[in-house]
Chain A
Amino acid sequence: MSAITAEPPHIEDHAHHEDVGFIRKYLWTYDHKMIGLQYLWTALAFLFLGGGLALLVRYQLAWPNTEVPILGQFLPATVASDGAIIPGGYNMLVTMHATVMVFFVVMPLLIGAFGNYLIPLQIGAGDMAFPLLNELSYWLYFISGIILLAAFFVPGGAPGTGWTAYAPLSAVEAYNGTRMGQSLWGIAIFINGLSSIAGATNYITTVVNMRAPGMSMFRMPLTIWSLFITAILLVLAVPVLSAAAAMLFCDLNLGTSFFKPAGGGQPLLWQHLFWFFGHPEVYIMILPAMGMSSDILAVFSRKPIFGYKAMVYAMVAIGFLGFIVWGHHMFVSGMNLTLSAAFGISTMFIAVPSAIKTFNWMGTVWRGSIEFTTAMCFSLAFVSMFVIGGLSGIFMASTPVDLFVHHTYFIVAHIHYVLFGGSILSIFGAIYFWFPKMFGRMLNETLGKVHFFLTLIFFNMAFFPMHNLGLGGMMRRIADPPIYEHLKQLQPLNQISTIGAIGLGFTTFIFIWNIIISLRNGKKAPNNPWNANTLEWTVASPPGHGNFPKTPIVYHGAYEYSVPGMEKDFLPQTEKAPEHVKLEAH
């Protein structure tokens, strides 16, 4: 295998170079680490925004049609009048909340931030294969974000058709009332897609071609495996959404009729294209979270990951099966009933690899020596919350049950257990874990624990009642639940949920506060604060340009913890095992 790790020619004596301007350092850089951080900060800003939108949504659901305190005054006229959210505005908030969270928070954090930061460092490369493309992908992401947000300020306002933008509602101005807003949504999705494809191309190429000597595929950390598989899913799934978005744009602006029955178009075609992308997309948003949490679990259990190969094969299986289950979003959409039955079966099967992973995580902590750092707490909670979200998925995978719960808050509960309880908790864990490497400072553990406990409590408070709301018959995307007779009695649940969500919002400030004070005067981070094995911990915190002063040579897998017969309980990948110890094959 050809390793083309760049060894920077003269790294030591550059200490006084002041000629790198602000722009070249922070705005237009080819360094994968800085690009990763660009993604990180931008996506965290979007998390605030998306969370703010969610809080508005929650406020309206708990206390419909009352003036939103403080924020109400700042809302555009298309969203609120006299500070109270109007029904059309509610739809816009929901749509923008989900679009922001999916395309501008979770994907960029997992793939843009951690993917960029960790891939070269963990495989022992100097940078990505195509640094220019990498930076381009960040700016495409940034621009698409601006375009999306601009939709709030155009005539007609933001799109109010849900993140799924079902046609023909989304495809006909007479129905949705905002041709501009919906078109901007389409453009933003298209450009965001270009950014994802650029990134994914880069990752696949880098992982395949630029591993350090000795870093065979089956010695890669699970983080890298998960990002690698995710990148393949991106390359295959995102372009289909781009094609659909282009058709939608043409329907709106050029008078084509892809999705309009009047001209022979088919509303269900949109759904097929969207979900062909959409289902792989949800695994795109969970695989890297799984990978990173696996690594963190192993480090703080001081144990090799249980069933490394099984973990890899499970992820490959998820990636593959992910392309043949999209119809489970369409059981009751008017799709052929036999097709529904077939998709029901394939959906059942895709739960199997997740089950394998769950059991292997439990195997990993079994007989470990578990240290409850904040990063570990988040990763442990990730497993539990993912199990809840996954199990609610089983209800919906059963076609008859979906006949009842489809498009209710049961689905909303599922979404947030897998996406917040899964992806976001894992991202928090990963931030606590890699922050020292990224910034050379430790995050405050006490604040971290507070952040963790409050997040977990408020999260469950906000989203668990949604299961009951859904079973009680509460539809998604309705601005004013109490106007339905059968939902009046459920209103207390809505209020509990909202209080939880507000608590979650405030808890986020603790996190931000922790970041700010730790950046300024946190404890200085050593190279390897957690005694971990992977390559990024062998270099300085933060790593210099080019990452590795010398191309690292890898001798074994990433999980040699607590090897019997060794003094210390870890064995970095660059260190040969002492003569007398024998590493177990996996």
Chain B
Amino acid sequence: MSSAALTHDEHAGHASAPPHVAKFGMIMFLASEAMLFAGLIGGYIVLRLAQPEWPPAGAPHLPVLLTGINTIFLVTSSFTLHFAEVQVNKGKTGLFLLLVTIGLGALFVGVQCYEWYHLHHEGLWFNTHGVYGSSFFVMTGFHGLHVIIGVLLIIWVFLRQLLTRCYTPTRHASLANVSLYWHFVDVVWLFLFSIVYLWR
């Protein structure tokens, strides 16, 4: 190993994969994320089909309406992020729409937190009412974690744009990938929402 050549790292930088390659990688990563949720959802369906009643007697019902509204927030945020990207494509900053996306994402997390708190208060938790509690909290928890990571990523993108204006119509790979991730989290939520809240 010629140690000399290693200095090359500093020049090349590691984030140098061209946009379409980075995007391809992101899609592969999301495929594995999809399998993660497929595992959770598959498990949930198997467990649930074997239950005599759902929700089990005495267990609180899930707040469908509130979560329905929350779903609208999340879906909207996907659109705002998409249009932020469109704006960047047009040579604008997209800062405002990014900010709105962050707000909506944070709102979603906030409402989910409130919901957890509320259900906990009503006696539903990881360790109560058997698989009903288990599956609800673990699935929404896993998804919530993904949303939080997404919001942090969008904040990072926002700050980069705010401070350095680094995204141009031709160069905005990280923005495009973050937005791909965000759409994915959104789609997963639609699955979770229909299967956890709407299926009764």
Residues of A within 8 A of B (CB): 4, 6, 8-9, 11, 14-20, 24-25, 29-31, 33-34, 129-133, 197, 200-202, 204-205, 208-210, 235-244, 246-247, 250-251, 254-258, 262-266, 269, 272-273, 276, 542, 544-546
Residues of B within 8 A of A (CB): 1-9, 11-12, 14-18, 20-22, 24-25, 28-29, 31-40, 42-43, 46-47, 50-51, 56, 126-127, 130-135, 137-138, 142
- Known contacts A208-B24, A210-B21, A265-B130; A14 and B138 CB within 8 A of each other: no
Q: Chain A residues with Cβ under 8 A from B35's Cβ?
A: 235-240
Q: Choose among A6, A200, A204, A246 the residue that contacts B138 (Cβ–Cβ < 8 A).
A: A246
Contact B51 A273 (CB under 8 A): no
Name B12's closest neighbour in chain A (CB-CB): A6
Contact A132 B14 (CB under 8 A): yes
Q: Chain B residues with Cβ under 8 A from A205's Cβ?
A: 17, 21, 24-25, 28
Name A132's closest neighbour in chain B (CB-CB): B14
Q: Choose among A197, A243, A546 the residue that contacts B5 (Cβ–Cβ < 8 A).
A: A546
Contact B43 A31 (CB under 8 A): no
Distance between B37 CB and nearest chain A CB, rounded to angstroms: 8
Q: Chain B residues with Cβ under 8 A from A258's Cβ?
A: 43, 47, 131, 134-135, 138
Contact A130 B25 (CB under 8 A): yes
Per DSSP, are chain A's interface residues mostly helix, strand or loop, or mixed? Answer: helix
Contact B134 A263 (CB under 8 A): yes
Distance between A433 CB and nearest chain B CB, rounded to angstroms: 19
- Known contacts A239-B32, A240-B39; A131 and B14 CB within 8 A of each other: yes
Name A8's closest neighbour in chain B (CB-CB): B8
Q: Chain A residues with Cβ under 8 A from B126's Cβ?
A: 250, 254-256
For the complex with contacts A14-B7, A31-B9, A263-B131, 10 further pairs of A-B residues with Cβ separation under 8 Å are A9-B8, A34-B1, A133-B25, A200-B28, A201-B32, A235-B28, A236-B35, A254-B127, A256-B134, A276-B39
Distance between A40 CB and nearest chain B CB, rounded to angstroms: 13
Name B1's closest neighbour in chain A (CB-CB): A542
Complex-state Cα separation, A150 to B42, whole angstroms? 32
Contact B134 A545 (CB under 8 A): no
Q: Chain B residues with Cβ under 8 A from A546's Cβ?
A: 5, 8
Q: Chain B residues with Cβ under 8 A from A130's Cβ?
A: 14, 17, 22, 25
Q: Chain A residues with Cβ under 8 A from B134's Cβ?
A: 250-251, 256-258, 263, 265
Complex-state Cα separation, A235 to B29, whole angstroms? 8
Name A37's closest neighbour in chain B (CB-CB): B1
Residue with the greatest number of chain A CB neighbours at <10 A, chosen from B5, B34, B130: B5
Contact B25 A129 (CB under 8 A): yes
Contact B28 A204 (CB under 8 A): yes
Complex-state Cα separation, A132 to B22, whole angstroms? 12
Q: Chain A residues with Cβ under 8 A from B29's Cβ?
A: 197, 201
Distance between B155 CB and nearest chain A CB, rounded to angstroms: 21
Name A203's closest neighbour in chain B (CB-CB): B28
Name A263's closest neighbour in chain B (CB-CB): B130
Contact A545 B43 (CB under 8 A): no
Q: Choose among A19, A244, A272 the residue that contacts B7 (Cβ–Cβ < 8 A).
A: A19
Distance between B183 CB and nearest chain A CB, rounded to angstroms: 18
Complex-state Cα separation, A542 to B34, whole angstroms? 39
Distance between B126 CB and nearest chain A CB, rounded to angstroms: 4
Complex-state Cα separation, A269 to B48, whole angstroms? 12
Distance between B198 CB and nearest chain A CB, rounded to angstroms: 21
Contact B8 A257 (CB under 8 A): no
